[in-house]
Amino acid sequence: MSPNFKKFNNCKLCNSKNLIEVLNLADLPIGDKYMPEEKVDLAKEAYELRIMMCQDCNHYQNSGYVDPDLIYGFYLSRPATTNPDLAEAFKEYADYIVKNFSNKKQNLFAVEAGSNNGIFIQYMKEKLNIKVLGVEPSNLYEHAIKNKVDTIKDYFNSNVAETILNDYGQTDFLIANHTFSNIIDNIDFLKGVKTLLKDDGVFCMQTFYQKTVVEKNLLENFTHEHLSYFYVKPLKSFFEKNGMELFDVKFVPAKAGSIRCFVQKKNGPHKVLQSVKEFIDDEIKFGMDDFNRHKTIKLFINETKDKIHDFISPLIKDGKKIAAYGTSTGATTFSFNYELGKSLSFFVDDDEFRHGLLSPFYKIPVVSSKKIKAEKPGAIIILAPLYADNIIKKNKDYLSDGGKFIKFWPKFEVVSN
C-alpha cells in the first residue's frame, strides 16, 4: 500500500472496530488532481475506495484516507463560485441562520470551517454585518484574503479552535458547508466546535445526504475527499455522545440532495424538533441500517459501464475521438468506475482554471468547449450528470454538427439531433 494512504481501524463516529465492507469501488487517483504538465507525477497514484459500515452505529465511511496535504495542496474546486444555483442557496442559508438563531443579538461572530474561497462568510460579513473568520487549508484561502475575508490557513481542529478562542473569543455560529464529511478526526473536530461555540451558539452543518446517494445512485459522492457518508441516525447519537444535541434537520436540493443539521450544546436554548425523529424513521424504513443497501449502486455501475462501452466501442473502431465533459472529483469517480480512461482523447470543462491541465493518472488534457468544433469527437460523455441539460443547451452547435452526447444518469441515454 502507498505510504500516502492510511487505513481507518475504527468507526469515525463511535470508535467501534466492527466495520464491514458494503461497496468496493474502482481504485482511483485523487479526484481533483488536475495538474500542469510539470507537476503531473503528483497525481499518478491510485488508491482503494472501499465503503465500510459500522455495525454498531451504522455509520458509513471510507476504508482509509489519502494524505490531506496531497489533496488540498493544489485545490481547484470552488463550487459556490462556479455554480450560481449553489451561490444563491448559500445566501438564503446565511439569511436563515441569522434570522432564526441570533436571538436579536448585536455583534454576532461566525466562524466557518473549510471556508473554501470565503464566499459564504463574505456574504455574512458584507450583507448581514457579522464579524466572520474562515479556516481553510487549501490554496483557495488566498482568494478569501484578496476579498478581505479574514481567514486562517489551516485545517479546523481542537487546537485551531483554542487559538481562535484566545484571539477572537467564542462564536455565535460555527458553519461547516460540505466540510464535515472530509474530516479525518470527527471527534476532535467536534471538540473544537464545543470549545468555540457560545452556550447559545449553533453549529450549522450542511452535508450531502447518503440516503439520497443510495436512492438516486449519486456515484459522484464516493471520492477520497469524502471520508464519511452521513445520514441522521448515526449523527444524532454521535452528537449526544459528545455533549451536543441535534435539534433540527432540513433537506435541501444542493448536490441532488443534502441535509442541514442544526446542533447546539447539551441544554442549549433550542427545542428539539420533530424533524429529527422523522428523518430517522424514514431512514430505517428505507433500510439505511442494512449492510446490503449499497448493493444497488454496484449493479447500477456495472449496467452503466456496459451500456457506455457498447456505444463507444464501434465509434473508436471507426477512428472517432471520445471526449468527456466535466472534470470534478466526481468525474474521476465516474471515469474510473466506468473504465473510460483509455478511451478518452480529452476532457472539456467550463472552468478556465482547469484549461491546459492534465487529468490525474491517465494525463488526459482539459480544454475549453471552444475546442469541440475543431476536434469533432464522435461522442461526448457527460461526467457532470446533474448539469447535463445545461451542458447540452450550451453546446447545441456540436449536436447540429452531428455530435452525440452520452448521458448516463438517471439512466443511460444518447442525445443527438
Contact region with Zn ion (CB under 5 A), list: 41-49, 53-61, 338-346, 373-381: 53-61
Q: Cβ(354)–Cβ(342) under 8 Å?
A: no
Give the largest CA-CA distance in the chain: 68
Rounded least distance, CB 11 to Zn ion, Å? 3
Which residues, listed in sequence order, are joined to residue 111 by a DSSP beta bridge?
133, 174
* Nearer CB in complex with Zn ion: 234/330: 234
Rounded least distance, CB 378 to Zn ion, Å? 48
Cα 390 to Cα 14: distance, rounded to the nearest angstrom: 42
Q: Cβ(362)–Cβ(249) under 8 Å?
A: no
Contact region with Zn ion (CB under 5 A), list: 55-63, 202-210, 302-310, 404-412: 55-63
Interface residue with Zn ion among 6, 7, 9, 16 (CB under 5 A) is: 16
How many CA within 13 A on the CB side of residue 402? 5
Can residue 14 be called a binding residue for Zn ion (CB under 5 A)? Answer: yes
C-alpha cell at 125: 460579513
* Nearer CB in complex with Zn ion: 181/217: 181
Can residue 294 be called a binding residue for Zn ion (CB under 5 A)? Answer: no
Contact region with Zn ion (CB under 5 A), list: 10-18, 81-89, 152-160, 167-175: 10-18
* Nearer CB in complex with Zn ion: 56/350: 56
Interface residue with Zn ion among 11, 214, 249, 288 (CB under 5 A) is: 11
Rounded least distance, CB 207 to Zn ion, Å? 17
Rounded least distance, CB 235 to Zn ion, Å? 11
Question: Which residues 6+ apart lie within 8 Å of 46 measured at CB?
Answer: 27, 28, 29, 336, 361
Rounded least distance, CB 323 to Zn ion, Å? 42
Q: Cβ(255)–Cβ(386) under 8 Å?
A: yes
* Nearer CB in complex with Zn ion: 57/367: 57
* Nearer CB in complex with Zn ion: 54/227: 54
x/- map, 56-85, Zn ion, by CB under 5 A: xx-x--------------------------
Residue 122 identity (one-letter amino acid): Q
Q: Which residues of 366-388 are buried (b: 16+ CB within 10 A; e: fewer)?
A: bbebeebeeeebbbbbbbbbbbb
Cα 120 to Cα 19: distance, rounded to the nearest angstrom: 36
3-state SS class at 332: helix
3-state SS class at 159: helix
| # of chain residues touching Zn ion (CB under 5 A) | 8
C-alpha cell at 333: 469517480
Site for Zn ion in 179-238 (CB under 5 A): none
* Nearer CB in complex with Zn ion: 254/261: 261
Rounded least distance, CB 13 to Zn ion, Å? 5
Rounded least distance, CB 53 to Zn ion, Å? 9
Angle between helices 119-128 and 84-101 (to 10 degrees): 50
Rounded least distance, CB 224 to Zn ion, Å? 21
> Could you count the other beta carbons within 10 Å of the beta carbon of residue 76?
20
Can residue 54 be called a binding residue for Zn ion (CB under 5 A)? Answer: yes
Binding site for Zn ion (CB under 5 A): 11, 13-14, 16, 54, 56-57, 59
